[in-house]
C-alpha cells in the first residue's frame, strides 16, 4: 500500500457516488446580458451532446467575451425512434448552458458521412445548402466543428459538410474556424483552452440532460478525466519538450481563419489559454 492507492480508490468511489446523482432537471445557469449586436459563435454538432463535450471554448466566449452561442443540430442521431426525444433533451441542455439552438431539418440531416459525399452527390449538395444558409443567416465570427479525422463517420462527415458550405460563401466572407476532437485526436492542434471547475461542472450537468444517452453509457462521469488527459497532451500543442501549463482541465482545438475562400493560419506554433485570460484575445 502506498499513498497513491487511497488516491485511486477515492477517484473510483467518487465516480460510483456520482453515478447516483440526478440526470437533468437543473435550474438553468445564469446567462450573461448579451448585446443585440453580439457576434455569433456557431457550434456545428454532429450529434446531440457534442455541444456539451467540446463546447468549453464556446461557453467561455459567451460568458467572458459576450458572444452569442448558437448550437446547430446537424443530426438528431441515427435512431429515428429517438430523434424527437433527443431534440427535446438537446433543447434542455442548450437552455441550461444559455446556448441558442438551430435545427437543420425535421429529424435532422441524415447520412452525413464521407460515403454520402462521394457516392450521393445530389443528396450531399442539399445538405451542404442547408449549412450554407445557416452560415449566411448568422454571419458568425467563430464556428466550431469536428476535424477531418475524428474517427466517427458522422463527425468526419460534418467536417466536410461545413467546409463544403464555407466554399459556397461569398469571397469576402471570413470567420475564425475552431476544429474540435473527441473520437479521434488531432495530430496538429494549436490551442489548449483551460476549463475552470465551475464551467466544467456546468458542462457535465448539461450533458446529463441527454438522459437517454447517459443512461445507456454514463460518459458524463468521464468528461473531467478526458479533460485531464487533454492536459497530459500539452506537448502536442506546445511542441515536444515544452513545459506543461498549470491546468487541471482543458479542451484541445485547432484554430485557424477562413478567408479568401480557404483556411489561413493565424499564428505559428501552439497557444495555451488559461482561465485567467479572456478568450476574446484569440480573435484579435
* Structural domains of the chain sorted by starting position, each given as residue range(s) with its CATH number in brackets: 39-278 (3.40.50.10320)
Would you say residue 28 has pLDDT above 90?
yes
Confidence of residue 5 (pLDDT cuts 50, 70, 90): very high
Contacts of 58 (CB under 8 A, 6+ apart): 41, 43, 51, 69, 99, 142, 144
Per DSSP, which regions of the chain are E strands? Answer: 40-45, 68-73, 100-103, 142-146, 175-180, 191-194, 250-259, 262-264, 271-273
Confidence of residue 244 (pLDDT cuts 50, 70, 90): confident
User: Tens digits of per-residue pLDDT, 30-64?
Assistant: 999 999 999 999 999 999 999 999 999 999 999 99
Average pLDDT over every residue of 210-219: 97
User: Tens digits of per-residue pLDDT, 95-148?
Assistant: 999 999 999 999 999 999 999 999 999 999 999 999 999 999 999 999 999 999
Average pLDDT over every residue of 263-284: 97
User: Tens digits of per-residue pLDDT, 175-194?
Assistant: 999 999 999 999 999 999 99
Average pLDDT over every residue of 6-27: 97
DSSP the chain: --THHHHHHHHHHHHHHHTTS--S-PPPPP-----TTPPEEEEEESSTTHHHHSTHHHHHHHHHH-PEEEEEESB--S-GGGHHHHHHHHHHHHHHHT-EEEESSTTB----SHHHHHH-HHHHHHHHHHHHHHHHHH--SEEEEE-TT-SSHHHHHHHHHHHHHHTTS-TT--EEEEEE-SSS--SS--EEEE--HHHHHHHHHHHTT-HHHHHHS-GGGGHHHHHHHHHHTHHHHH-TTPPPPS-SSEEEEEEEEEETTEEE--SSS-EEE-TTS-GGGGG-
- pTM, two decimals, is 0.97
Confidence of residue 173 (pLDDT cuts 50, 70, 90): very high
Element holding 117 (H helix, E strand): helix 114-119
**CA pair distance 104, 138, nearest whole angstrom:** 14
**What pLDDT, on the 0 to 100 scale, is given for residue 200?**
98
More confident residue, 95 or 242: 95
**What pLDDT, on the 0 to 100 scale, is given for residue 107?**
97
Would you say residue 243 has pLDDT above 90?
no
Q: Mean pLDDT in the chain?
A: 97
Question: Cell numbers at residue 158, please?
Answer: 460534418
Q: What is the percent of the chain where pLDDT is above 90?
A: 99
**What pLDDT, on the 0 to 100 scale, is given for residue 151?**
98
Amino acid at each position: 500500500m502506498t499513498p497513491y492507492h487511497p488516491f485511486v480508490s477515492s477517484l473510483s468511489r467518487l465516480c460510483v457516488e456520482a453515478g447516483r446523482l440526478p440526470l437533468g432537471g437543473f435550474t438553468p445557469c445564469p446567462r450573461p446580458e448579451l448585446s443585440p449586436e453580439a457576434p455569433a459563435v456557431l457550434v456545428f454538432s454532429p450529434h446531440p451532446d457534442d455541444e456539451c463535450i467540446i463546447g468549453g471554448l464556446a461557453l467561455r466566449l459567451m460568458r467572458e467575451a459576450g458572444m452569442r452561442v448558437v448550437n446547430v443540430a446537424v443530426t438528431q442521431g441515427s435512431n429515428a425512434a429517438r430523434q424527437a426525444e433527443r431534440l427535446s433533451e438537446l433543447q434542455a441542455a442548450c437552455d441550461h448552458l444559455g446556448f441558442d439552438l438551430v435545427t437543420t431539418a425535421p429529424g435532422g440531416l441524415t447520412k452525413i458521412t464521407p460515403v454520402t459525399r462521394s457516392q450521393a452527390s445530389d443528396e450531399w449538395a442539399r445538405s451542404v445548402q442547408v449549412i450554407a444558409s445557416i452560415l449566411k443567416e448568422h454571419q458568425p465570427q467563430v464556428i466550431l466543428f469536428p476535424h477531418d479525422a475524428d474517427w466517427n463517420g458522422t463527425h468526419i462527415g460534418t467536417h466536410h459538410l461545413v467546409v463544403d458550405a464555407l466554399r459556397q460563401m461569398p469571397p469576402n466572407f471570413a470567420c475564425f474556424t475552431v476544429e474540435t476532437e473527441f473520437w479521434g485526436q488531432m495530430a496538429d492542434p494549436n490551442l489548449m483552452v483551460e476549463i475552470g471547475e465551475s464551467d466544467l461542472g456546468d458542462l457535465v450537468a448539461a450533458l446529463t440532460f441527454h438522459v437517454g444517452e447517459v443512461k445507456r453509457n454514463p460518459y458524463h462521469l468521464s468528461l473531467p478525466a478526458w479533460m485531464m488527459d487533454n492536459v497530459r497532451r500539452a506537448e502536442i500543442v506546445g511542441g515536444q519538450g515544452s513545459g506543461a501549463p498549470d491546468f487541471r482541465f482543458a479542451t484541445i482545438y485547432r484554430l485557424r481563419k477562413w478567408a479568401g475562400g480557404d483556411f489561413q493560419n493565424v499564428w505559428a506554433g501552439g497557444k495555451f489559454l488559461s482561465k485567467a485570460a479572456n478568450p476574446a484575445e484569440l480573435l484579435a
